[in-house]
Amino acid sequence: MAGKHLRYILILSVLSYFFLIFGNGLMSLTNPDEVFYAQTAKEMSEHRSWLTPYLFGAPQFEKPVLLYWLVRAGFALFDNQSFAARFFPALFGCFGVIAAYLLAVMGFHNEKKAFVSSLTLLSSGLYIGLSRTLFTDMIFSVFILFSLVSFYWGYSRKDRKGVGIVLFFIFSSLAVLTKGPLGFLIPSLIVLIFLSLRRDLGFLSCGYSLWGLGIFIAAAFPWYIFMISRYGASFTHEFFYNDHIRRLLTAEHAGNDTWYFYPYSMVGCMFPWSLFTLAALIVLAMKLRRDRNAFSIFLVSWISVVFVIFQSAHSKLVSYVFPAFPALAIMTGDYVFDAASSKSRSRIFYILSIFMAAVLFAIPVAAIFLVPKYSSYLSSRTAPYAVIGLLFLFSALFLFFVLSRRLMKAIATLVFLIPAIWFIAPFAHRGIEPYISSKLASEYLMQNHEVANPIVCSKFIARGVRYYTDKEIVVLGSPKDFFSPHPVTYLDSDKEVEDYLRDQKVTYCILDKSSIERIKRAADKQFRLSVLKTIGDEYILEITHGELMP
């Protein structure tokens, strides 16, 4: 039995490398968030600070410190800065797949079903996306996953109760150091609701819980105590109020603040398993009516807690509910495995598979019509048509296996769908990069012009310009444009723009298209404005004071 587990874990490890890590250095760090985390880690290093995060030369309090430590470690390990910055989120993505397998083995007592469940997680769209980008969400969610795996290990194996409870608190403390108090609130509520439904709250009434709580306090609290003692109300207001309480009350992205945003996101971002995830939720609810087994209750508690916590907040992002995705994938894997391996051949599963094949075919058909429409954004049509060809190939394979009733092979086709598209990234990244990263525009400016003054830039690309130029920046806009404060100079009116330009002999700008007219209006006839180059959606400008005009 141990040999089978090792074989499955080895296969998952190899696939995880190719699905989540391979090629992560091809694309430059993107605006606005990847460069935010990378720049903070870089400035911490410049300030020789291990406890205070810095951004734009001043302390910043948006996120705890653990991610920045990992990014700094990545920079020390690898020369490719993009790969280095993304290394630990990708590595944690690999760890999460293995952890999901181990949890599913404990819950299902079936290593094949656990293997399918972990493959479902590994091949889902959002999981791959967050593994390959520099955000807190993957590391945060995997620490929560580790804490819940530890708890369930201790719950299902009474001889491991003490170790499981202590590890639950250790991993929860690391989640708190990654993103904040939710790292303890989420897993704790899941455990408490699960034990309440099982009428087994007494499970926690032991010395191990006290030891675990003590270790949690010793691990998670010191950084917060240091920051509060050092920065006082500045830290508590920004970190606890602005980045936590205010997000409950105010919609940072107003268009997402709808009742259906998270239900749609939780199902849709499981693509290409979305239809099966929806069916699995229904099947799981029906199972609980017939048989209230512990693992089903655990999964339902997990998904429900994450959903309810974030549904109540007005600020909504897909990544916020990501901690529920391991449970969604395990639940989906359970349904898919049972339906595909059943001798009776589930009719509903077969119909869903046919419908899924139609969806898969519809995507490349729609893309054929969209490529010419957006050709101006593409440096070459080779990459998009390669993607379209791959989608047609996988759609045809999936449909063939479904119609021939080889459902396990159909499942394997879905597993490799999104990774196959990622593998053609070397052909696509040069066309996409100018629209999502400021690296090329920043490099052009620095290599071709002597920049002595701060660079004026649009809000969305401000962090990227700072990261790639190492120059001071001035933001064309208002401090209110940022959800969290940024200690930079702002030009919030035409008068401020005009006064600023008059004080400079030469001003260089990197702006998006929406900011060009504003600069032109403010500059008027007093200044000479030259567009030096356009790279993607970014315009590189040189503005000279009228007195210097020839």
Q: What is the pLDDT of residue 550?
A: 43
pLDDT digits (tens, 9 = 90+) for 320-356: 999 999 999 999 999 999 988 876 657 888 889 999 9
Give the DSSP per-residue string, 160-177.
Answer: GHHHHHHHHHHHHHHHHH
pLDDT of residue 378: 58
Residue closest to 59 by CA, chosen among 77, 47, 74: 47
Distances (CA, A) of 330 to 56, 93, 274, 294, 307: 42, 15, 13, 14, 16
**pLDDT at residue 257 in the model:** 83
Which residues of the chain fall short of a pLDDT of 50? 548-550
pLDDT attached to residue 549: 45
Please give the angle made by the CA atoms of 158, 162 and 167, to the nearest 5 degrees.
120
Compute the distance between CA of residue 475 and CA of residue 470 in angstroms, rounded to an integer.
15
Q: How far apart are CA 248 and CA 46, in angstroms?
A: 34
pLDDT in tens, 289-303: 777 889 999 999 999
Report pLDDT for 67: 97
Query: Quick one: pLDDT at residue 144?
Result: 98
In sequence order, the 6+-apart residues with CB closer than 8 A to the CB of 263 are none
Closest of 157, 236, 226, 141 to residue 190, by C-alpha: 141
Rg (CA), the chain: 26
Spatial separation of the C-alpha atoms in residues 50 and 377, rounded to whole Å:
41
CA 109, CA 94: separation in Å to the nearest integer? 22
Structure tokens, 346: 């589930």
d(CA 446, CA 64): 32
Give the pLDDT of residue 176: 97
Per-residue pLDDT reduced to its tens digit, 114-169: 999 999 999 999 999 999 999 999 999 999 999 999 999 999 998 899 999 999 99
User: How many Cα neighbours within 13 Å face the side chain of 438?
Assistant: 31
CA angle 133–137–143, rounded 5-degree value: 120
